[in-house]
Structure 1
Amino acid sequence: MSVPAWRPSWLDALLALAVAGAGVVEAYGRAGAGPGQVHRPGLVAAGALAAGVLLLLRRRSPVGTLAALTVLSALFRVAVMDDDYPLAAWQFYSNLILVHTVGSEPAGPRGRAAGVVTVLAAYALLQTLPGQDVAESLIGAMFMGVAYGSGILLHRQTLRTVRMAQRAAVAAGEERTRIARELHDVISHNVSLMTLQTGGVRMLLSADPARDKERDLLRGVERAGRDTVEELRMLLGVLRNGQAPAGLDRLDELAGPLRAAGLDVRVATTGTPLPLPPALGLSAYRIVQEALTNALKHAGAATVDVTVGYTGAAVTVEISDDGRSTEAPTEATGEAPAGHGLAGMRERAALHGGTLHAGARPGGGYTVAATFPLAGD
């Protein structure tokens, strides 16, 4: 991809025109042979035009442009050495503008140091002009300091504005996600309820062989309802983080931080892995995630075995730990001490026509097993 060509802004052009114009007006408006007058107006005007050209480039390389202006001022100082002319207008204005630009540009430590050195060099050159005394030096230092300091303040204000804009964008994104989540909860609940009721009606008709057509229509409604809920989950996941939803192929990534925390997580797969619908894979992933979190935080487990089994008709996930089963989620309450328990896992399994079983293991430990059908109704 080609890099767009750099172009000066309208502000750069206006500043360049103002400095060059002021220099030319001064050169010919004060031309004369007397003391304090411009003896060589053509030379002063040429310097003003050159300074204007440099101002057009001030944003491309602020430090380099200020250094070039300092060299130009030095050459001009040598050329008018015999003239009793202290400071041209274009020198004063262009120095202040470029010093401000150097202060306002973002730069690392080296760039900032180079900028300070260049500013000091420009100020030192001004001290070689005729008629400089302590008062003139202090006035020049104040003007240069204000120009450089205002540039730094402008840079900081720009950064603050950018950060505020980024925070506003993040806040807007979070608000959109919250609204999407609420819509998802309301719509998916009602669609799931309609799907389950449709399935109930279809099962009531199963005994009547003359209702095959009605059963096929109801089966299509069920399928459309499940697809709708799946699409809602997918869209909510995209709004949350812009990434594809997690699935059973990412269990090793899930286990990594838990292993670092001291939990020995062993992931195994039986059967031939099959491509899963994204929503189903996400639900299975969340069940494993919840079970692993409970094993680490509430059961005090040291080892957890996660087994994913594929058959032609279903996929199963089983999470077994060796922790204290009395502190794990119980069938009676359906909740873990942290407030996230079996109820949510069962909802995820039931959403895809699956089942979930959980309970203490003989000899200690706890097992959570979920089964998701892959074919049929």
Structure 2
Amino acid sequence: MEWAGRRLDAKSVADAAVAVAVALIIRYAIVDPPGPSSHWPAWSAWPVAAVVSFPVALRRRRPRAMLALACATAAAVTMAGAVAAGAIWLTFTPAVLVLYLVATTASIAWSSAGLAVCLLAEVSAVLVFYAQVFPGLDPAAAPSEIPPAWPIEIGMVTVLLTVAWAVGTVVRWRRETTARLVRHLAEAAVTDERRRIARELHDVIGHSMSLIAVKATVANHVADARPQEVRAALAVIEQTSRSTLAEIHRVLDLLRSDGDPRQARLPVPGMADLPELAVHARSAGVEVDLAVRGEAALPAAVAMSVYRIVQQALTNVVTHVGPTRCSVTVDAGGREAVIEVVDDGPRHGRPPRPGSADRGGHGLIGMRERVKMYGGTFDAGPRPEGGFRVSARLPYAPDGTPA
């Protein structure tokens, strides 16, 4: 607010300076006109110039009222003969400046009405001046190269007013177009952020709930025969629930405290958390062989995408296949991250779980979208020898942006 007030004050000072400059020009034109001099006394040029130029100084505070005042005073002093022939168009210069501001701030209908009123006022005033005042003026001491004539005066004022209105209208249209574009970009950014958060929540909850469902099923089946396995399953469920709540809190903190440095945030998952994913999958009966190759330190955004892709791939294995063997390979070198998750399919001739044939749904869509952000390649599908394979390649620039 303080900065906006300073800018407004600076513009008001600039308008006041312009008003003074215009008043000096009008006063000089009245005293030393190109045509016959006014029959008013010479000292009257000062108050006439000040009154005509006054609306320019206050045009930002009351633009519509100042436009009406500028047109009225210019027309009045012209019909009263206080101006000189050949320089009447200067008297309407303040109306031109105010009309430009009105066109940049008011609606097209209002500014058009203002233009029409100003044109009517200047045409009427010039015609009255040349019909009633001009014949009674003394001839100029030195004839001008361009003799005073009402068509020239009307043409000059009409052109100035029309150009000011047209330029102001274009400026207003560009401002509105820019404002609409900014709003559209802001809305698009909000939509993208919502999609990203929804994808994060899907990955977190889907992975954890799959493990919890598997362990709860095991505990339910062996509750009477092997109570020690029930306790182990409950321990896994407890640990998974706690980590899931922490992840959900981290994602929701992005909504509550975006841009607030006072709000503490949990670290973003990355490459260092891949072994924990393997541990969770092993607790659900999946034998995971994890291999991370390459010594390059991935940018945080790329590392999180790698983590989420591996997380969703392992979630699909736990959900759709059950106990099996799975290999996870991550190669982080050469300005790209290459991920491959391969499972052997159901063991001992067990029928696949419902939905395991194609493993479609939001999981594969989310992985494909993450890869698409980096302009990489993604492939997922069943293997001829059995099982399922997920492969992704994420090229990236040194700063973590897509390559």
Could you tell me the TM-score, scaled by structure 2's length?
A: 0.46
What TM-score, normalized to structure 1? 0.48
Question: Which protein has greater RCO, CA pairs closer than 8 Å, 6+ apart?
Answer: 2
